Amino acid sequence: MKVMAFNARPDERAFFDHFSQSLDMDLTLQKDTLTLDNVALTRGYDGISCTCDLPAPILEKLAENGVRYVALRTIGYDNVDLKAAERLGIRVSHAGYSPYAVSNYTVMLMLMCTRRMAHILKRAELQDYSLKGKMGRDLSSCTVGVIGAGRIGTTVLKHLSGFGCKLL
């Protein structure tokens, strides 16, 4: 099987090497994003891997070039015209991340923002542990809205429920 990976980052190299050998794939890495301008590179490939948007025009060119499989290196597939992919006979898969891992990370970032963690860390580097001014606010006093209540959004809501904030 011939596969071309777009948006291939240096830190992904070991992963690509391992799976191309273990699955006996002919793999080509592209650092660029897949666009209509470079979709011709996929001619003769069975599949692609990417992190980019795949609207119908790109999918149509992929199908013309013989591509039948798209493996997204993203959590979801809302960046793909799935109706066009189905019509063209292109199978689409995406990465399966643990909703708990993503939710934990989300809540951590929220706490870091509300508590002004970047400012606190800078002051800690200077060994300044004084409490000058307001150091942030409690998540319990916030109203938090989650757009999209799929597996990850629902898990974020469950985790936030323990903080006492108002949830939308």
pLDDT digits (tens, 9 = 90+) for 96-144: 888 899 999 999 999 999 888 888 888 888 898 777 776 778 888 999 9
Q: Give, for all 168 residues of the chain, the pLDDT tens digit.
A: 999 999 999 999 999 999 899 998 999 999 999 999 999 999 999 999 999 999 999 999 999 999 999 999 988 788 999 999 999 999 999 888 888 999 999 999 999 998 888 888 888 888 987 777 767 788 889 999 999 888 889 999 999 999 999 999
The CA angle 34-74-159, to the nearest 5 degrees, is 155
Helices 151-161 + 99-114 axis angle, to 10: 50
Whole-model pTM over 0.85:
no
Exposed (0-12), middle (13-18) or buried (19+): which is 134, by Cβ within 10 Å?
exposed
Q: What letter represents residue 75's amino acid? A: I
For residues 41 and 66, is the Cβ–Cβ distance under 8 A? no
Q: In whole angstroms, what is the distance from residue 87 CA to residue 90 CA?
A: 8
pLDDT at 145: 93
Strands (E), 20-164: 26-29, 47-50, 69-72, 91-93, 143-144
